[in-house]
Structure 1
């Protein structure tokens, strides 16, 4: 079954159903991947989004090789990928020799990076977020490269505007986001050097039932914990839509590489989201703080023009999240830290 708005389930009963939904392709994804030749390799496949992005790619183009590369330090993801026909290669991307041993495929999705705990070892954060991209960009100079980045490369923008668009120069707070600018600059530099087509995929807050902005707010409501609205506005996108747009970017690369903002097209108030979630959960949110006039927000007009609106809208995400949290279903235990304003993660 192809993914369309009409085929979305009312609820997601368990993790197996969640994985199936995240790996279900749409016809536009299939069409875009059929416009390009070659196999697909995902570097840093073992993170939150990587496994189901790989599964989505394989479901969309089952006749091609989809290869996932990671250290696979946590149990389970390697077997999960291989059960879905995805080849796996264990390797450390900080090891230049390991990168040189990887097969040369035509399509690279670069997802490796370091965020959570970034403040604990800033030199490692810079090595992962800037040095590794330089190694990969040189090794795969003849491939298309879609490199995951973040909307955090932008400065704060007014909450009553449209968000930061791709023409706004990066000027972020905190070394994590600064290192992400370093990542982008490495891919940009070598793309210019070698005429490597690519995209810098500036993603703001993907959402899965097990993590994300809505999950964070809903679990605080249920636990009767305060919700700080000082960073009071966000935009976010269903992880399946984000993964599909990343893969579709392979058919929409620029030479040299260029940024594209990916998130939900709406700017949403945290206070309002808490009220909507609380109403469904039958629990009044505890709100603290006052909304600041600026936040990390992106204008996704370019992505909407290229890909259309996300298939899963905000109301559906709220319904799925409240059902999941009300049943005390599993969480990844990885808060988004969307409320952080100083860039220290």
Structure 2
């Protein structure tokens, strides 16, 4: 209905990198050209949303679309970093089913969402918004150093992960403003100081995508 109502508009469709297949971290993550392989209801719902906008645009030459495929954005009340920081701080076991993640701040993610209008096109533009790929073990080690705690890992480390390559995004709009170390330190300090938590775990470590 939204696509039909705004038939002559530029649209940024909030999509996700969730339907990408797991890839070898050494290869840098799935690109916009990687064939989707959704797992679970959420992944298929993302694919259906993109298809709906593509169908609308195919019948409206003036409608331009960017599919904004976001990986996890980091907020101090929600996100992979604050989840891991809380787990490290409490001594909870951390699974390595998902051994690598992308890290991007909420601020940078919002900036790229707005700038998605600049590259909207017909046929639609695909835009991975992700941040650098970082090993979960490295993240937890740094969080542990800030928190004065030792991370506890469990299970076998997987060879692949749900990660995205955002070279096109960086090439189009330049580097992100917030660095990984800044985000790590902020998340650790927030948890250590008892900052607000939204109690909405990302469950990013679920390799089967069952949320």
Q: Same fold (TM over 0.5)?
A: yes
C-alpha RMSD over aligned residues:
0.9
Displacement of 1:194 after TM fit?
0.5
In the TM superposition, residue 278 of structure 1 has moved relative to its aligned partner by 0.2
Task: Give the aligned partner of residue 62 of structure 1.
Answer: none
2:197 is equivalent to residue 337 of structure 1: no
Which residue number in structure 1 is paired with residue 113 of structure 2? 246
Say whether the 8 Å CA contact 2:97–2:206 is kept in structure 1: no
Q: Which one has more relative contact order, counting CA pairs under 8 Å at least 6 apart?
A: 2
The whole-number CA distance in structure 1 between the counterparts of 2:179 and 2:54 is 32
* Contact 1:216/1:336, CA 8 A, preserved across alignment: yes
CA deviation digits over 1:111-167, x for unaligned, max 9? Answer: xxxxxxxxxxxxxxxxxxxxxxxx111111111110011101211111221110011
Name 1:297's counterpart in structure 2: 163
Find the aligned partners of 1:182 and 1:258 in 2 and give their Cα distance: 16
Q: Tell me if the contact between 1:154 and 1:296 (Cα under 8 Å) persists in the aligned partners.
A: yes
Instruction: Summarize the alignment of residues 34-45 of structure 1 with structure 2, pairs less than 5 Å apart.
Output: none
Q: Would you say 1:205 and 2:72 are equivalent positions?
A: yes
Greater C-alpha Rg: 1
Counterpart selection for 2:37 from 165, 168, 171: 171
Aligned length: 210
SS of the counterpart of 2:13? strand
**Partners of 1:290 and 1:271 in 2: how far apart?**
12
Q: Counterpart of 2:203 in 1: which secondary structure?
A: coil
Alpha-carbon distance between aligned partners in 1 of 2:30 and 2:194, rounded to the nearest angstrom: 36
User: C-alpha distance in 2, partners of 1:166/1:268?
Assistant: 19
Partner Cα separation in structure 2 for residue 161 and residue 172 of structure 1: 20
What residue in structure 1 maps to residue 188 of structure 2? 322
Contact 1:233 1:269 in 2 (8 A): yes
Partner of 1:219: 86
Q: 2:28 matched to which residue of 1?
A: 162
Which of 106, 131, 135 lines up with 1:269 in the alignment? 135
**TM-aligned CA deviation for residue 319 of structure 1:** 1.1
Partner of 2:15: 149
Alpha-carbon deviation of 1:297? Answer: 0.6
For residues 307-330 of structure 1, the C-alpha deviation after alignment (integer angstroms, 9 at most, x for no partner) is 111100101001111111100110
SS in 2 for 1:145: strand
* Displacement after TM superposition at 1:290 (Å): 2.0
CA offsets per residue over residues 230-275 of structure 1, 9 Å max, x none?
21111021001000110011122111212110010x2111111100
3-state DSSP of counterpart to 2:153: strand
Structure 2 distance, partners of 1:183, 1:190, is 11
What is the 5 A alignment of 1:9-88? none
TM-score, length basis structure 1: 0.60
CA contact (8 A) 1:188 1:258 kept: no
Counterpart Cα distance in 1 of 2:36 and 2:48: 11
| Unaligned 5+ runs, structure 1 | 1-134
Shift >2 Å, 4+ stretches: none
